[in-house]
């Protein structure tokens, strides 16, 4: 295998390009804008680059790294230029709707989701080693060809990512909990603080905000396009998670209203005890 | 000024001791347990240490670094051993109730709150430079003596902290927004995820959790004692903040239910736009 095409040169596509170029692949980058393609070339995120999807011709693997809502259309545009054995994979953070649609267009498709977000988006914040020790989930179905799966898995492993595998619907429900719900929880925190009507108190709160607020608000202050796409494409699972979250928060509030301090302590202890399981480095 | 006493050798008291000892003060550390006092001596967080509050005798300044609910009782225990000019300050994260109580016992009292929490507590996680570039708020009232305020301010500045000043009640309302509300929001996130009834999905969510979940859940997975004390001693302000937060979250959920994606995008943009004001380094 020699040639890898990356369609969409943002944070993920650009970071992939930086790693794969360094590994010696002929990385072909395709962007919507010519300036982005040029920037990818000059930073070493691609060996060839341009705006024409026909550049994917001859690629062994195509990574579709566009926003969620452009993945299926991009696959449709790319496919006429591919040779039969080529493998398509994507990096979208929602899989349930995308995977069956692209698989119906191209049998050698493997859904993927490298979990390596940042507060900022775009090629400017791409970096080598972005995927190292980060979760990278592949979402094969009964239809997925084993050889295609193995190929994408080998590339993801070469990035140093922690691979895991599940069904697209399971993926969407799991990321609703640990990725999409946190965005809504965190952005609501920022907006609740902004609702303080006394301007002096608001200024004081902003001055006193320290690392705790900074961390809790980070994903909520991220790119609005991404949060909107998450909600739009994973709406049902996110709403389930939100409803559970609201019930949990109401329960905690009830303990504070009733001054049940031992029960609140127990509840906070449960949270403290549960958290480490979400931090462990998963087996590769 | 020569001699500084620190009563309570946990994360904050221990870190204060490490900095002030290095600055050349004779730091006297007082802990509940003899082992803690010994540990403080051996790590250089105190020059003298023990379990007897009488050790505060001769101190120019006493830092009360006990948990919130022990501050007033500690002040009461310390005062009989102090010389007239000595200044007492504390580091409790709630001020509205504590400040008038201690001020009534000792006129040379200055309420303080260095905002430098960690997920862990205790002397073992104390470190030099903990307060550098972190907010440190002083809460004088009309009764506070200017000379006492100046003395505490000078010490806090020598730690490299970013000083600010406000009334105790303003402090409590501001920290409800940016410190106490985030703890409840964040711990509820962990517990909501734990409510996933499918064990395979829960395990998958834990495996896929990445830096976004890690950051959003950090303060919620912290020491339960601290969260309980925050709620207990700042109950009214926290409940107001929680109620506002619930309304904000419900509003966001309503947009997702109604599939109002432009409105959701606008809301997330407001959060993104608002966040930087909470991150700026306040003027010293």
Check B253 against A242: CB less than 8 A apart: yes
Q: Interface pTM (ipTM) of the complex? A: 0.88
- Each residue of B50-97: pLDDT tens digit? 999 999 999 999 999 999 999 999 999 999 999 999 999 999 999 999
Q: How many CB pairs under 8 A join A and B?
A: 330
Residue B281 has pLDDT above 80, yes or no: no
Confidence of residue B117 (pLDDT cuts 50, 70, 90): confident
Chain B residues closer than 8 Å to A197 by CB: none
Q: Say how far residue A173 (Cα) sits from the centre of its chain.
A: 14
Task: Classify strands A112-114 and A135-138 as parallel, antiparallel or unpaired.
Answer: antiparallel
Is-contact A78 A56, C-beta < 8 A?
yes
Confidence of residue A283 (pLDDT cuts 50, 70, 90): very low
The residue-averaged pLDDT of A26-35 equals: 97
What are A156-161's contacts with CB under 8 Å, separation 24+? A156/A112, A156/A114, A156/A131, A157/A284, A158/A19, A158/A23, A159/A16, A159/A19, A159/A114, A159/A131, A159/A132, A160/A129, A160/A131, A160/A132, A160/A133, A161/A114, A161/A131, A161/A132, A161/A133, A161/A134, A161/A135, A161/A136
Answer whether A187 touches B (CB < 8 Å). Answer: yes
Mutate to test the interface with B, among A135, A174, A200 (most CBs of B within 10 A): A174
Q: What is the DSSP string of B143-189?
A: TS-HHHHHHHHHHHHHTT-EEEE--HHHHHHHHIIIIIHHHHHHHHH
What is the predicted pLDDT for the residue at A211? 87
Chain A residues closer than 8 Å to B265 by CB: 224-225, 227-228
Confidence of residue A117 (pLDDT cuts 50, 70, 90): confident
Answer whether A254 touches B (CB < 8 Å). Answer: no
- Each residue of A63-113: pLDDT tens digit? 999 999 999 999 999 999 999 999 999 999 999 999 999 999 999 999 999
Confidence of residue A137 (pLDDT cuts 50, 70, 90): very high
Residue B282 has pLDDT above 80, yes or no: no
- Locate the DSSP E strands across A102-241: 109-110, 112-114, 135-138, 162-165
The C-alpha atoms of residue B278 and residue A171 are separated, in whole angstroms, by 33
What is the predicted pLDDT for the residue at A213? 95
The residue-averaged pLDDT of A47-57 equals: 97
Cβ-Cβ contacts under 8 Å for A74 (sequence gap 6 or more): A7, A8, A53, A64, A66
Check B116 against A214: CB less than 8 A apart: no
Check B256 against A239: CB less than 8 A apart: yes
What are A34-37's contacts with CB under 8 Å, separation 24+? A36/A9, A36/A123, A37/A9
Check B261 against A177: CB less than 8 A apart: no
Answer whether B167 touches A (CB < 8 Å). Answer: no
Of B167, B162, B172, B185, nearest to B235 by C-alpha is B172
- Each residue of B135-169: pLDDT tens digit? 999 999 999 999 999 999 999 999 999 999 999 99
Check A264 against B228: CB less than 8 A apart: yes
Check A164 against B232: CB less than 8 A apart: no
Answer whether A139 touches B (CB < 8 Å). Answer: no
Check A189 against B245: CB less than 8 A apart: yes
A149: left (phi over 0), alpha (psi -120 to 50) or beta: alpha
Chain B residues closer than 8 Å to A94 by CB: none
Check B261 against A170: CB less than 8 A apart: no
Chain B residues closer than 8 Å to A252 by CB: 184, 187-188
Chain A residues closer than 8 Å to B248 by CB: 188, 191-192, 195
Check B174 against A204: CB less than 8 A apart: yes
Instruction: Determine how many CB atoms are found less than 10 A away from the CB of residue A265.
Output: 18
Eight-state DSSP code of residue B8: -
């Amino acid at each position: 295998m020699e040639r890898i095409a990356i369609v969409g040169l943002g944070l993920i596509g650009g970071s992939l390009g930086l790693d794969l170029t360094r590994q010696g692949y002929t990385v072909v980058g395709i962007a919507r804008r010519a300036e982005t393609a040029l920037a990818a070339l000059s930073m070493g995120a691609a060996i060839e680059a341009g705006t024409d999807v026909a550049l994917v011709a001859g690629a062994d693997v195509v990574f579709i790294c566009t926003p969620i809502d452009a993945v299926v259309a991009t696959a449709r545009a790319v496919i006429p230029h591919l040779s039969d054995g080529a493998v398509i994979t994507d990096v979208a953070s929602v899989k349930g709707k995308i995977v069956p649609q692209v698989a119906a267009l191209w049998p050698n498709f493997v859904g993927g989701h490298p979990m390596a977000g940042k507060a900022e988006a775009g090629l400017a914040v791409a970096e080598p080693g972005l995927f190292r020790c980060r979760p990278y989930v592949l979402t094969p179905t009964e239809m997925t060809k084993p050889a295609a799966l193995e190929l994408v898995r080998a590339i993801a492993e070469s990035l140093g990512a922690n691979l895991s595998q599940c069904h697209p619907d399971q993926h969407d429900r799991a990321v609703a909990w640990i990725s999409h719900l946190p965005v809504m929880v965190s952005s609501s925190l920022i907006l609740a603080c902004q609702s303080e009507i006394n301007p002096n108190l608001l200024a004081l709160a902003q001055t006193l905000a320290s690392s705790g607020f900074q961390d809790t608000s980070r994903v909520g202050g991220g790119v609005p396009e991404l949060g909107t796409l998450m909600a739009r494409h994973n709406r049902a699972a996110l709403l389930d998670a939100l409803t559970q979250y609201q019930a949990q928060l109401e329960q905690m509030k009830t303990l504070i209203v009733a001054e049940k301090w031992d029960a609140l302590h127990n509840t906070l202890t449960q949270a403290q005890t549960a958290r480490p399981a979400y931090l462990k480095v998963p087996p590769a």
